[in-house]
Amino acid sequence: MCSAAVKGMKGIIRAPVRMDRLTKRLVKRLRRGEIALIDHEDIDLIAAYSLIEVGASAVINISSSATGNLPPSGAELLLSHNIPIIDEMDKRAFELLRDGEVVEVNIPYGELKFDDVVLRGKPLTADELERRKEAFSRRVSEVVEAFVRNTLDYIQREGSELLSGSIMPPKLKTKLHGRHALIVTRGRGYKEDLRAIMPYVRSEHPVLIGVDGGADAILEFGLKPDIVFGDMDSVSEEALRRATDIVVHAYVDGEAPGLERVRRLGFEAVTFSVRGTSEDAAMLLAYACGASLIIAVGTHTSFIEFLEKGRKGMASTFLTRLRLGHLLVDAKGVSQLYSGGLKLWHIAALLGLGAASAFVIAKSSPYTMGFLRAIALWAIVQLERLFKLVF
């Protein structure tokens, strides 16, 4: 398969194109050097990081990557990594192109060429991006006000049910009662935070719950998801195959669109009907099944993250966290607490200092030798525990 883009001197890229209206689904198939054709209004940071990580040579968007309704963080990140963007491409691209077909993209002119067809869009330049940023800054107070109003309206309508209503969890093969549950969602910094708490995971062996693409994040770390939860729109078949339980998030009326895909792939699943986002529902599932502690990685909690996900308020997340109370530990940002890590030379220096001190004390008082032996034995036991935790 051809996977390397050929970049010309005048902004011409010739490479295979991969297309999917869902960016999070496309990045699972996109290869380094290929062109991404998506339909993603206001590209968020997670999508941008994913496109950079897989090595997209260009992004062609049917929608606008930066409308001015949100901070254009995703589009800005792509341009900073020299990945050009063509917005508002002719919608016929999805109908006329074949996935994997080699196309030619003229970046300055916003043209997509294949066979004898030329489709046109609008190249997103750094100057235009700056104008979109200014547009958002002018209306940010209006956006915040609408967000708060929608949140409060939802709390007034549904608050009592989410805070105190009964929760009937489905019957699962995985035992959650009395155990820790680690819930992984593909939010900002999820990889760094998951890496930071790996010593905890190896030590405590919590139940691993992947929310949609979060199940694949668990696989990336060499672990197996115990439970895959969500709408099933972005989780891989491999993650579904390896999970002990598959739980499809259903609407309050019982309808569960994601169940069709799971059954089509030949897997068994149960449904869980509860209000809120899938990550909120995953927390409520662990809570209802009696988890003694719930740790969340990659969750969406900020104003911008909710807007990027197309949500106009955050009531369900706020109410869910109120209900879980002290049982919930949010690991978001834990990787920023300390990045130095424990080095072998730290341990060696500590041992050297201890040995020197012991030598001086022993020389001055032979009666301390028995005490020093006891201290040395205690130190060896503690170091063994430390090595198991770190390595």
Regions in the chain scoring below 70 on pLDDT? 1-10, 154, 159-163, 301-315, 335-391
Residue 306 CB coordination number (10 Å): 19
Q: How far is CA 6 from CA 13, 109, 134, in A?
A: 6, 17, 35
Q: Is 70 in a helix, a strand, or coil?
A: coil
Query: Do the Cβ atoms of 206 and 175 come closer than 8 Å?
Result: no
Instruction: Map tokens 């006891």 to a residue.
Output: 374
Return the pLDDT at 69.
82
Could you tell me if residue 383 is inside a domain?
Answer: yes
- Based on the fold, state whether residues 97 and 168 are members of the same structural domain: no
The reply to whether 330 and 349 lie within a common domain is: no
Phi, psi of 123 (to 5 degrees): -65, 135
CA 89/CA 98 separation, integer angstroms: 16
Q: Which residues contact 377 (CB under 8 A, 6 or more apart)?
A: none
Report the pLDDT value the prediction gives residue 359, as an integer from 0 to 100.
Answer: 55
Q: What's the pLDDT at 389?
A: 47
Looking at residue 319, its pLDDT comes to: 80
Pairing mode, strands 6-7 and 12-19: antiparallel
Tell me whether residue 131 is in a domain.
no
Q: Please indicate, yes or no, whether residues 275 and 385 belong to a single structural domain of this protein.
A: no
Domain assignment of residue 218, yes or no: yes
Structure pTM? 0.67
- Does 105 fall in a domain? yes
Q: How many structural domains does the chain have? A: 3
Are residue 252 and residue 321 in the same domain, yes or no? yes
The C-alpha R_g of the chain, in whole angstroms, comes to 26
Q: Are residues 352 and 323 in the same domain?
A: no
Report CA torsion sign: 339, 343, 347, 350: negative
- Cβ proximity of 320 and 276 under 8 Å: yes
Predicted confidence (pLDDT) per residue in 262-276, tens digit: 999 999 999 999 888
Spatial distance between the Cα atoms of 8 and 119, rounded to a whole number of angstroms: 19
For tokens 């770190």, what's the residue?
390
Give SS3 for 184: strand
In terms of Cα–Cα distance, which of 158, 190, 215 is closest to 298?
Answer: 190
**What pLDDT does residue 76 have?**
94
Q: What is the pLDDT of residue 391?
A: 47
Q: Is residue 132 part of a domain?
A: no
Q: Which residues pair with 7 in a beta bridge?
A: 13
Flag whether 277 is in a domain: yes
Contact in structure between 294 and 285 (CB atoms under 8 Å): no
Which tokens is 112 given?
């997509």
Q: How many whole angstroms separate alpha carbon 64 and alpha carbon 85?
A: 10
Look up the domain containing 360 and give its range. 344-390
